[in-house]
Structure 1
Amino acid sequence: MYDYMIVGAGFAGSVLAERLARVENKKVLIIDKRNHIAGNAYDYYDEAGILVHKYGPHIFHTNSKDVFDYLSKFTKWRNYQHRVLASVDGQLLPIPINLNTINTMYGLNLSSDELTEFFKERSEKKKEILTSEDVVINSVGRELYEKFFKGYTKKQWNLDPSELSASVIARIPTRTNKDDRYFTDTFQAMPLYGYTKMFEKMLDHPNIHIMLNTDYKDILGVIAYKKLIYTGPIDEYFDFRFGKLPYRSIEFKFETLDQEKFQETGTVNYPNDYGFTRITEFKYLSGQKHHKTSVVYEFSKTDGDPYYPIPRPENALLYKKYQQLALQMENTYFVGRLATYKYYNMDQVVAQALATFKQIRDNEIANANILANHKMILNSKDLSEI
């Protein structure tokens, strides 16, 4: 008899397994369909001996000291600040768009104040910001929108930015300084020995049992458990009762090259050319020294493993139907990107898992107090009858 069965060994499931086992001394079974732990953050050494990310680049960044301190229990860190270039009109230009981007692109020497005016002159002010197209055009105008965002978004989502929620492109800021880092979070680092090693330490506890290559539905009724934590697709849990929630998937093409370096930075985006969205070179991420280098090309597609929930109003309404079913479930928790149909970063999933653990613990304390009070009342009644 397990106290908890957890479906999915990615960030959400593994954080909850670790907290429940280590802090609450619960017996936990964690299950995954894949043949490995760590979910989409899984990394491994390829045939050349280069550390690569099987499901595309995962760059850790957060403003939460609590999240960073928690993960630091299981890994040392390598300081790393990710930088991205975009291939536009034959030039490699920093993105997010910043002062260096504009000065290089147009052969100018603007100051920060002058760049603010530059954007203001080109922006098309919108009364309402409803779509991703609105976000960019309202901020920097149509030309930069078409050069940097329109094509990339179309490839990534198979939708025009005018068909996507404003939240998609709002994740990518526009800067008027020379800060060319992709992220500006307080904590930016990579697990020193990789994500998989971090997960191995996280799940290294005698109360945690792991089953891989297993669909949890195949063992329902076979293995006893008290409560369920589900981190998979919420529509799949309910057998697609209201239809499938739409996702974008990715096809990864890996290459190992007999050269020390392939490109000028960790990731290069291709908004307008080729069928792929971006190329990432893994040695930038890991800091590994090697006479060869490995890269991955990403091709967005409709079919395949679900990676990105598609943020459109009709999809949000469909998710709400499943959410209502989830809220009616007893002793069942839905956690993570797929289970809550949210486009979360890794640190946000960790924060959600830690918050869920607190909720579970608070509920158990409250239930224990109710039971104790009930026993006291019963005992006092027994005494009054003597």
Structure 2
Amino acid sequence: MKYDFLIVGAGFAGAVCAERLAASGKRVLVVDKRNHIGGNAYDRHDENGVLIHPYGPHIFHTNSKRIFEYLSAFTDWRFYEHRVKAYVDGGLYPIPINRTTINRLYGLDLNEQATVAFLESVREARGTVSTSEDAVLSSVGRDLCEKFFRGYTRKQWGLDLSELSAGVAARIPTRSNDDDRYFTDTYQFMPAQGYTAMFERMLGSPDIEVRLSTDYNEVKASIECGHLVYTGRIDAYFGYRFGKLPYRSLDFQHQHLSDVERFQTTGTVNYPNDHEYTRITEFKHLTGQQHQGTSIVREYPRAEGEPYYPIPRKENEALFLRYNALAETVADITFVGRLAQYRYYNMDQVVGASLKAAEGLIQGAAISEC
């Protein structure tokens, strides 16, 4: 059978493109080497009946009304504001750092204005903010940097703050009030029936065929299609011609506690200085599921394994740009998604990039048919 589009990957990027293209009347084939849809956002019930995220917590948040309304066509939502605490010096403190964090950590009683003054007094001015160390020190000073950021970064990235681009640390704000939400986006929700159910609806069109446990490289010669949408590693597509783009991986160690209804007070607890793992997430906070037991996951960063996080360094971006330039010379292929664009995208950013890519493909198809 001939397809208008072949899409490699059934995660957010692939599913959004497939849904939009099928809605425009195109015949689409989606292949994925894993045995499930949803990519890293895939969720399932464990053997004890608790809904878990096998690839670590995925919390949806966005400021884009358009993206939220688009996904709302495929899921009902559960309102959820994620909260994170950091285990530091034997205590649990809100992260991002806020007024509560500072008052409890230092035994102070600062109001909001005094908290602003405190942060101003401990900041280390940087003429140029080029690294994550520059960003953190110029924001919260050295003591808070050492307590909350340096150790976590070293574990997560295998690099010191001084070796990472400033944008990594810029993702986490500092607050002078008591707002302890991890995100402040307008729309903060979780799919009420889970991510997998949402993906099933996105890929449910009769004009979409999905083949799982299918390696694109093993079947590409036998599939006839008009255009390829590739959401995998851009360096892998080109046979690592210029070398591999660096990634950090994770080892997820899941555990079920049958006699514990709640393991921790927030969805996630970070461990910047203790243990080999970076954080523990308890899924029932995220999903709102009622269950007599609970399931948690510990995340251990690794240098090798599945590619989860592009490592934001100048030399890595330069290598990606070489691959991107090569991609622009190849006809009838669109590269989209975190792996294909070597970007530390949030889920809503992947959806936005994929909607844009699909719209361009649909418009191009319409022009070619005129």
Q: TM-score, normalised by structure 2?
A: 0.99
Which residue is equivalent to 2:158? 158
Q: How far apart are residue 107 of structure 1 and its match?
A: 1.4
Which residue is equivalent to 1:348? 349
Which residue is equivalent to 1:317? 318
Which residue is equivalent to 1:287? 288
Which residue is equivalent to 1:70? 70
Larger Rg: 1
Q: Secondary structure at the match of 1:177?
A: coil
Which residue is equivalent to 1:375? none
Q: Secondary structure at the match of 2:221?
A: coil
Which residue is equivalent to 2:13? 12
- Is the counterpart of residue 267 in structure 1 residue 268 in structure 2? yes
Q: Percent identity?
A: 58
AA partner of residue 4 (structure 1)? F
Q: How far apart are residue 366 of structure 1 and its match?
A: 3.0
Q: How far apart are residue 364 of structure 1 and its match?
A: 2.3
What CA distance in whole angstroms lies between the structure 1 residues aligned with 2:79 and 2:137? 35
Q: What do residues 100-156 of structure 1 show as CA deviations (whole Å, max 9, x unaligned)? A: 111111111101111111011111100000000100100110000000000000000
Q: How far apart are residue 242 of structure 1 and its match?
A: 0.2
AA partner of residue 226 (structure 1)? G
Q: How far apart are residue 233 of structure 1 and its match?
A: 0.4
Query: After the TM superposition, which residues 359-378 of structure 1 pair with which residues of structure 2 at under 5 Å, given as runs?
Result: 359-369=360-370
AA partner of residue 112 (structure 1)? E
AA partner of residue 296 (structure 2)? V
Which residue is equivalent to 1:200? 200
What CA distance in whole angstroms lies between the structure 1 residues aligned with 2:325 and 2:345? 21
Which residue is equivalent to 1:381? none
AA partner of residue 309 (structure 1)? P
Q: How far apart are residue 368 of structure 1 and its match?
A: 3.4
AA partner of residue 240 (structure 2)? F
Which residue is equivalent to 1:249? 249
What CA distance in whole angstroms lies between the structure 2 residues aligned with 1:219 and 1:355? 27
- Is the counterpart of residue 81 in structure 1 residue 81 in structure 2? yes
Which residue is equivalent to 2:298? 297
Q: How far apart are residue 221 of structure 1 and its match?
A: 1.7
Q: How far apart are residue 365 of structure 1 and its match?
A: 2.9
Structure 1 portions without partners, runs of 5+: 370-386
Q: Secondary structure at the match of 2:227?
A: strand
Structure 2 portions without partners, runs of 5+: none
Q: TM-score, normalised by structure 1?
A: 0.95
Which residue is equivalent to 1:90? 90
Q: Secondary structure at the match of 2:222?
A: coil
Question: How many pairs align?
Answer: 368
Which residue is equivalent to 2:139? 139
Which residue is equivalent to 2:279? 278
What CA distance in whole angstroms lies between the structure 1 residues aligned with 2:18 and 2:365? 16
| Runs of 4+ that moved beyond 4 A | none
Q: Secondary structure at the match of 1:183?
A: coil
What CA distance in whole angstroms lies between the structure 1 residues aligned with 2:364 and 2:206? 24
Q: What do residues 170-189 of structure 1 show as CA deviations (whole Å, max 9, x unaligned)? A: 00000111100000000000
What CA distance in whole angstroms lies between the structure 2 residues aligned with 1:132 and 1:247? 18
Q: Secondary structure at the match of 1:74?
A: coil
AA partner of residue 277 (structure 2)? F
Q: What do residues 261-300 of structure 1 show as CA deviations (whole Å, max 9, x unaligned)? A: 1011100000000000000000000000111000000000
